[in-house]
Amino acid sequence: MRFEDIPQPDEVARASAITLHESLIKPVGSLGRLEELGSWIAACQGQSPPRPFTRPRVVVFAADHGIARTGVSAYPPEVTAQLVSTALTGGAAISVLASSAGAGLRVVDVAVDSEGDSPISEFKVRRGSGSIDVEDALSGAEVLAAVRAGMAVADAEVDGGADLLVAGALGVGHTTPAAVLVAALTGAEPVAVVGRGSGIDDAIWMRKAVAIRDALRRARQVITDPVALLRASGGADLAALTGFLAQAAKRRTPVLLDGLAVGAAALVAEELAPGARSWWVASHLSSEPAHTLALEHLDLEPVLDLGMRLGEGAEGVAALPLLTMAVRVLAEMSTHEQSGVTGPTSPPPPAS
């Protein structure tokens, strides 16, 4: 499975936005990263000034991971289903943050280890996944179903009017397979990618390090095939995120990336869909060491660094107000000509 001919943002619109910034009533470059973000949005939309966002959407893929049963998290596996229920009733962190930022929230159950049908389980691939230290996370059919589920969700959101997407993941233990994917694709050693995840102590950290080491040995056997890598060492949420991120780029829709799990999926998505990263912004630098490696590999500079490591899309949505500001500056701020405000003084001519 490969994504061919990923379009690129409009460089003419980006250049026009940069020129527009130079005419606004401020010193050139004085708004720093906001100017870069506004120009990126203009390029994604293909127009300058860019349109204000009308339907930003947070999409969180939820799944359980077999590796969590080995004790690599501070929380038991059943917490995933509990957090999904809380998110749907508005009490989870991502529910509150998305509402605060004016974004809609969608939770997609692709592999939560729970019974029962619900609207969020339309794309459910299985319950949980294999323990990646000793077995594949998914079967060949399941990994393809998960990638296609992510693609279908991206299409549905874009067709429904979403003009900015925030990608997130929810699931106990997901930083372990995410770290394995990052280590496999960046060539890092296991110890370089082991983080504290859900707030684990030293004993759990050592178990997690062993799990990542063993899973990485298996991952390196399929390193040249991104889909096989997801099958062996990822999970349904990471596979769905991969399809989601690649398809969003195919549909010319900008995406705010969340923390480690989304960063790991982005690495795989860039392998499947070269050039897709041009449609993504790294919203935040997670305190997970593997996230730094992933962003460096993708050549993406995070917008924020607030010490967050929650996941769920929380880090992604935290940067949404800044993107809104970046767009509105270009769309609403006056130019020197419109306002009558004198521009910067030209340097005097050189002495003859």
Q: Annotated active-site positions, please?
A: 312
With contact defined as beta carbons under 8 Å apart, do 134 and 88 qualify?
A: no
Helix intervals (H) in 137-225: 140-159, 175-186, 202-219
CA distance 315 to 87: 16
With contact defined as beta carbons under 8 Å apart, do 184 and 233 qualify?
A: yes
CA distance 265 to 106: 18
**Residue 97's closest CA among 245, 307, 301, 315?**
315
Give the list of residues 6+ apart from residue 82 with CB closer than 8 angstroms, or none: none
How far CA 104 is from CA of 49, 59, 268, in Å, comes to 24, 8, 26
* Tokens read off for 123: 């794309």
Angle at 265 between CA 261 and CA 271, to 5 degrees: 155
